[in-house]
Amino acid sequence: MVKSILIVDDSPVARMIMKKCLPESLGITIIEAKNGQEGVEKYQQHQPDLTFMDLTMPVMDGFTALSLIKAINPQAVVVVATADIQEKVLQRVEDLGALLTLKKPPSKQALADALKRAKEALAQVRS
Amino acid sequence: MIFDQIFETINSGLIVLDRDMKVCHWNRWMAMHAHIASEDIIGRSLFEFYPELNRPHFLRNCKAVLAFGHFCFFSQKLHKYLFPMAPVGSLVDHFEQMQQSCAMGPLRNEEGGIEKCYISVQDVTEVVLYQKKLVQLTMTDQLTGVYNRNFMESQLSKEIDRCQRYQHDLSLLMIDVDLFKTINDNYGHPCGDFALKTITRRITANIRKTDFLIRYGGDEFCCILTETSQQDAYIVAELLRKSIADTPFEFKDRIFSSTVSIGVAGLNSDDKHLECLLKKADEALYRAKQSGRNTVT
Amino acid sequence: MNAMVEEIFATEEKDILQEVMNIAFGQASADLAEVIDIFVVLSVPNIQVIQGRDLPKYLLEEIHSSGLVNIIEQGFLGKFSGQALLIFPCGAEKVLLNLFNQGAEAVGGCDIDVDTLELETLMEVGNILIGACIGKIAELLQDIVTYDPPRLIAQDFSLEHPKCCPIDENSFAISIRTVFRFEQEDVEGYLFLITNQRSIEWLKKALYAFLESFE
């Protein structure tokens, strides 16, 4: 089960869109961070089940934050959310250990699929 | 109905292609200039008729239009033309192919999806001809037909920059007709003009196509020798001097001789601009004049 | 964002505008990689509102280049209309020519001089970059735009020459600036989208419609 989600994005609108697209009925706790550094700190503090990570952010970008979170917990489930889904970016994000990449702006369907993938990954980790 | 008529009668080529590059529409202008009837090309791939378009650059543009809805422009300056066609009327004398300015853009269905694209073809041959003529007028000397000072200032500075960057040799000859004023005074201006024309003809015959001859002032010429060291330039200058001095001039039963003095300068790494080189050549020319004319320094 | 942005856009509008631009420019990078097979990095777009007469001064400050520049201008027309200005420092055209002709056939005849080739290539590249960015903004905001052919409005143009203002002095411009870098080559360019007041009203409505589409 995905009970808590950390959304790391510098744009308040991007975080809002993400929340709007998440199914409400599940009672998921949402934690927000507005840059990579804050994201890493909040990850450590809350140990969320799933993290949505933007890439281009001030202070610390998503690539760095992703690798730091993976250093804290190699089994952390991180989904990268970016508009720039070119091959090289996807490859780099995958190498850093992201579960998958979500194209921005997200659709409800795409988020539902991402949640499903995250659940499967979490189940694997926990078993 | 109205748009159909405009499509057919507009004085430009219009083509509509589907996503597989199959021709959907081909207007009368295209039929007339490409000599391909619309019924022969509709439903078939554009590349069957124009295989030369099936190249990365064109395909890249098609993708930009069809996948991303971009607009692409194929300028005449860069492409000359997309569709080989004969120029209209007397323009045939100046160009082998009609010069075209083309554009390509997406055509959307009601939902906004890109289903097709169009290509427009505009005949710009006449404009290009005027441009060429204008460039020629501003860059050449009307009497002798060689380049003028305007050309030297706008084009040759770039040539010198390039030589400096790639460390190529380049030399400049400053050529002055000795006692030109006396030719004018003794035999009249038409004869002076004749002398200038003859001198440029003799110089042109002795330099390469890659060199530049410029009429710098009234009786002063400047010759840029590309890929030529100062020593080699000296040999060329001697050749030029002799070609003028050794054969007398003949104008309307009148025979006279004329000579030139030449100053030679080679491009050094510290010559930053055309002016430096000109100054050196000018100084050499002055020395040539001082040492009794008809000489190379 | 500067003070004039605050006057024109409410905080929420400003935030949506910023996010729309973030997404648009991000997607544009991805499209560019696919179309031209070159890795382009677009910086986070910076949005400013500027008076036309202050534009040259603003451009000069933003570009941090005292040297000469080439400016490509392209008009775009839709509900979102305006001019795109793409600014490259002089010399960038040589690098771009190499970058874009790698592995590709040489275009045009052999009688084209290098300068023309470089500048025409610059315009073709400019058209692609401008089209990718504006096309994405339009797509996100449910608009369809058409474009004029690109023009080189200033060649070897000095930004320190304040008289050369490409925009009407009294008009009002929203400037959306991004810096893009080509990964393989160290070339930086600046893209400014200048839109007029008329586009602003439409833009505000479109921004809310964009947000509502996620309800």
Looking at the complex, report in whole angstroms how far the Cα of residue B176 sits from the nearest Cα belonging to chain C: 31
Q: Do residue B63 and residue C35 have CB atoms under 8 angstroms apart?
A: yes
Residue where the block lists tokens 């004329």: B258
The structural domain count of chain A equals 1
All residues of chain C having their beta carbon less than 8 Å from the beta carbon of residue A20 are: 214-215
What is the interface pTM, i.e. ipTM, of the complex?
0.86
Mean pLDDT of chain C: 79
Judge whether C112 is closer than 8 Å to chain B, CB to CB.
Answer: yes
Q: What is the pLDDT of residues C137-195, one digit of tens each?
A: 998 998 989 999 998 876 666 655 544 445 666 666 777 888 877 776 777 788 888 88
Size of interface B-C (CB pairs under 8 A): 68
Question: CA triplet A27, A30, A34: central angle to 5 degrees?
Answer: 165
Q: What is the DSSP letter of B2?
A: H
CB A101 within 8 A of CB A118: no
What is B140-290's CATH number? 3.30.70.270
Q: What is the DSSP letter of C45?
A: P
In chain C, where the domains are located: 3-212
Closest Cα to residue A56, out of A32, A80, A30, A92? A80
Closest Cα to residue C113, out of B159, B128, B153? B159
Helix (H, G, I), strand (E, B) or coil at C11: helix
In chain B, where the domains are located: 2-130, 140-290
- Which of C120, C124, C145 is the best mutation test for B, with the most CBs of B within 10 A? C124
**Between residues C17 and B275, which one has the greater pLDDT?**
C17
- CA Rg, chain C, in Å? 17
Which residue in chain B is spatially nearest to C133 when comparing CA positions?
A: B70
pLDDT at C103: 43
CB C120 within 8 A of CB B77: yes
Do A and B touch (≥3 CB pairs < 8 Å)? no
Starting at the edge strand found earlier in the chain, the sheet holding B114-123 runs: B23-26, B13-18, B114-123, B100-108, B72-74
Report the neighbours of C using a cutoff of 3 or more CB pairs below 8 angstroms. A, B
Query: Along the 127 residues of chain A, how does pLDDT read in single tens digits?
Result: 788 999 999 999 999 999 988 877 678 899 999 999 999 999 999 999 999 999 988 899 999 999 999 999 999 999 999 998 888 889 999 999 999 999 999 988 999 899 999 999 988 887 7
Residues of chain B with pLDDT under 70: 271-272
**Considering CB atoms only, which of C34, C117, C127 is closest to B72?**
C127
All residues of chain B having their beta carbon less than 8 Å from the beta carbon of residue C112 are: 77-78
Name which CATH class applies to C3-212: alpha beta
Q: Do residue C31 and residue B105 have CB atoms under 8 angstroms apart?
A: no
DSSP string, B80-135: S-SS--PPPGGGGGT-SS--EEEEEEEEE-TTS-EEEEEEEEEE-HHHHHHHHHHH
**Considering CB atoms only, which of A11, A20, A84 is closest to C29?**
A84
Q: What is the pLDDT of residues B132-173, one digit of tens each?
A: 999 888 888 888 888 988 888 877 777 777 777 777 888 888
Helix (H, G, I), strand (E, B) or coil at B296: strand
Which residue in chain C is spatially nearest to B60 when comparing CA positions?
A: C35
Which residue in chain C is spatially nearest to A106 when comparing CA positions?
A: C214
Q: Do residue C30 and residue A104 have CB atoms under 8 angstroms apart?
A: no
Domain span including residue A35: 4-126
Q: What is the pLDDT of residues C93-125, one digit of tens each?
A: 888 777 776 544 454 445 667 778 888 888 888
CATH number at residue A11: 3.40.50.2300
CB C171 within 8 A of CB C52: yes
Q: What is the pLDDT of residues B16-59, one digit of tens each?
A: 999 999 999 999 999 999 999 999 999 999 999 999 999 888 98
Is the four-CA dihedral C155, C159, C163, C167 of positive or negative sign?
A: positive
All residues of chain C having their beta carbon less than 8 Å from the beta carbon of residue A83 are: 22-27, 29-30
pLDDT at C159: 57
What is B2-130's CATH number? 3.30.450.20
All residues of chain B having their beta carbon less than 8 Å from the beta carbon of residue C115 are: 158
